[in-house]
Amino acid sequence: MREHGDATTGPSPVDQAAVRRGNLARVLAEIRRPGGHSRAALAATTGLTKATVSSLVAELIRRGLVRESGLRQEGVVGRPGRLLELDGASLAALGLEIGANYLAVRGVDLADRVLLDRRVGFDAVRAGAAGAVDELAELTADALAELRRARIEVVGIGVAVPGLADIATGTVHYAPNLLWQDVPVADRLRERLGTAGDVAVLVDNEANLSALAEFRRDPVTDLVYLTAGIGVGAGLIADGALLRGATGFSGEVGHLPVDPAGGACGCGRHGCLETKIGLAAVVRAGAPDLLDAPRDPEELAAALRHRAEAGQPRVLEALDDVGRWLGIGTSILVNLLNPGAVVLGGYFAAVAPYVVPAAMRELRSRAVAGEAAICRITGSAFGFGAAVRGGASVIADRVFDDPTAARLRAGPGVESA
C-alpha cells in the first residue's frame, strides 16, 4: 500500500516540501522520546520507509538536532543498527523579558541545558520604550556574542512583555505598567542587533510565555497560570495549547470585577481583582514601609515571604486576605475553564504557602460542579523566571515543529528540504 505521493502523480513541489518538513518533525519527535532509537525502529513507529527515515535522519544530523549514540542488535541476524538520540547542544534558544523594574535573559540549548541566565534591575518606565528596548538589545548582543564564541548557533529569540502583544508583528499594543503604546519591539530589537540579530524574534505576553513554561514542566492539558507583580495577568492553556483568543488579548484577569463596592483601580473602575491581589495592594496592607521607590517585584516578594516566615501578623493577615480574593478570582476561571491545575506565578510563587489555603477554601465553596471541577492550586517552581523560560521554549518548540528552522550544515547525503 503506497499512501503517499510519488514523482508522477504525487504532490506539487510545495506539498512535497511540506510533507518532508512534517516527516522531519515526526522522526525528531520520536527521537526525543527517552531511550535510543534505531532507524529500523523509527521506520516501524512512523510508518515511513527505511530509505525515507535514513534520509530524514541524515538531514536532522546535519541540522545539529540528532546524533548517533551507540549500537543496538536488531534481532538475531543482520548487522547492528546505530542508535540515535537528540543532540541540540550546538543550537540555542534565547528567552528575554522586559519588566517594569528589570530585564532578564536566559539561553538554553535544544536539549534544554541552561547556557546563560541573567536578570538586571532596570527602570523601564524612566528609560522609555525606545530606551528600554535598546537596553534589552545590549543585553541580547552580549549573550549572542558569548554563545557565538562557544560556537553555538542561536535559532531565535522569544521576548516576554507585561502587556498586550501582537505576535504576528512583534508590536506591543499596550503595556500599562511600562506606559507603552504601540511599541514595535521586534523591529527595533532586530534593527539594534543588526546582522547579529539575524534570527527569528517572537514577542508575546509574559503570562502567555510563563503558562507555556509551566505546561512544558507539567503538561496538564488544561492549565491556568495566574501571576501578579505590579499587574495581574493570566496565561491559559486549553486542551494542550495556548488560548490566545481572536486577537491575542485573552487572559485579562486583572480587571475582573470582584467587588463593585471596592476601591478605585488604575483602570478607572472599582473593585477590580488587581486592587485586591496586586503586589501594590498587599504591600500597602501588609508592609506599608516597603512602599517607596520602584524596586524589583522579586525583592518585594522575598521581603513579604521573609516577614511571613517570621510570623508577622500584619503580613500574614494581608496574605490571607489576598488568598481569599485570589480564590474568588480563581473560582471564576475554574467555573469557566475547568482547568486541571492552577499555577501561581510572580510574587504569589514566593508566598504560596500563605495564600493557597484561603484560596482553596474559596474555590471549594464556589466551584459550581463541586469536587469534580476542583483542581490543585500551587505556586510556580519558576517564580519570576517563568517568562524567560517560556520565551526560550517557544523558540525551541518552533524548531521541533519545523526542524528546517535550524540551519543545514555542510555534509553528505541530504535531499533538498
Name the residue nearer to a second copy (CB basis): 239 or 292. Answer: 239
Name the residue nearer to a second copy (CB basis): 40 or 111. Answer: 40
Name the residue nearer to a second copy (CB basis): 270 or 295. Answer: 270
Least Å distance, CB 28 to a second copy, is: 15
Q: Which of 5, 70, 353, 413 binds a second copy (CB under 8 A)?
A: 5
Q: Which of 177, 366, 379, 397 binds a second copy (CB under 8 A)?
A: 366
Name the residue nearer to a second copy (CB basis): 53 or 157. Answer: 53
Least Å distance, CB 142 to a second copy, is: 34
Q: Using alpha carbons, list the distances in angstroms from residue 369 to 55, 82, 334, 336, 364.
A: 52, 53, 10, 11, 10
Name the residue nearer to a second copy (CB basis): 254 or 385. Answer: 254
What binding mask, one character per residue, do residues 43-82 give for a second copy by CB under 8 A, x or -? xx-xxxxxxx------------------------------
Q: Which three cell numbers stand for residue 373?
A: 471541577
Least Å distance, CB 270 to a second copy, is: 12
Q: Look-up: residue for cell 541476524?
A: 77
Binding span for a second copy by CB under 8 A among 11-19, 192-200, 389-397, 398-406: 11-19
245 lines the binding site for a second copy (CB under 8 A): yes
Q: Which of 74, 134, 187, 259 binds a second copy (CB under 8 A)?
A: 259
Binding span for a second copy by CB under 8 A among 64-72, 147-155, 278-286, 333-341: 333-341
- How many residues form the binding site for a second copy (CB under 8 A)? 75
Task: Give the Cα separation of 254 and 371 in Å (integer).
Answer: 26
Name the residue nearer to a second copy (CB basis): 43 or 186. Answer: 43
Binding residues for a second copy restricted to 335-354, rule: CB under 8 A: 335-340
Q: Which three cell numbers stand for residue 391?
A: 520565551
Task: Give the Cα separation of 286 and 322 in Å (integer).
Answer: 10
Least Å distance, CB 308 to a second copy, is: 28
40 lines the binding site for a second copy (CB under 8 A): yes
Binding residues for a second copy restricted to 288-327, rule: CB under 8 A: none
Q: Using alpha carbons, list the distances in angstroms from residue 110 to 143, 154, 169, 259, 405.
A: 16, 10, 25, 46, 12
| Apex 147 CA angle, 212 and 415, nearest 5 | 75
Least Å distance, CB 211 to a second copy, is: 13
Binding residues for a second copy restricted to 219-238, rule: CB under 8 A: 220-222, 234, 236, 238
| CB contact at 8 A, 189 and 140 | yes
Task: Give the Cα separation of 340 and 327 in Å (integer).
Answer: 15
Query: Which residues, in sequence order, are CB contacts of 207 under 8 Å at separation 6+?
Result: 225, 227, 233, 234, 235, 251, 345, 387
Binding residues for a second copy restricted to 119-148, rule: CB under 8 A: none
29: Cα within 13 Å, side-chain hemisphere: 12
What's the DSSP call for residue 202? Answer: E
Q: Which three cell numbers stand for residue 315?
A: 503580613
Task: Give the Cα separation of 251 and 267 in Å (integer).
Answer: 16
Name the residue nearer to a second copy (CB basis): 148 or 364. Answer: 364
DSSP string across 6-45: -TTTS--HHHHHHHHHHHHHHHHHHHHSSS-EEHHHHHHH
Q: Which of 29, 168, 264, 267 binds a second copy (CB under 8 A)?
A: 267
Q: Which three cell numbers stand for residue 353?
A: 504557602
Q: Using alpha carbons, list the distances in angstroms from residue 367 to 225, 363, 378.
A: 18, 6, 17
416 lines the binding site for a second copy (CB under 8 A): no
Binding residues for a second copy restricted to 369-398, rule: CB under 8 A: 369-370, 372-373, 375
Task: Give the Cα separation of 62 and 56 in Å (integer).
Answer: 10
Least Å distance, CB 19 to a second copy, is: 5
Binding residues for a second copy restricted to 143-182, rule: CB under 8 A: 164, 173-174
Least Å distance, CB 61 to a second copy, is: 19
Binding span for a second copy by CB under 8 A among 102-110, 114-122, 344-352, 364-372: 364-372
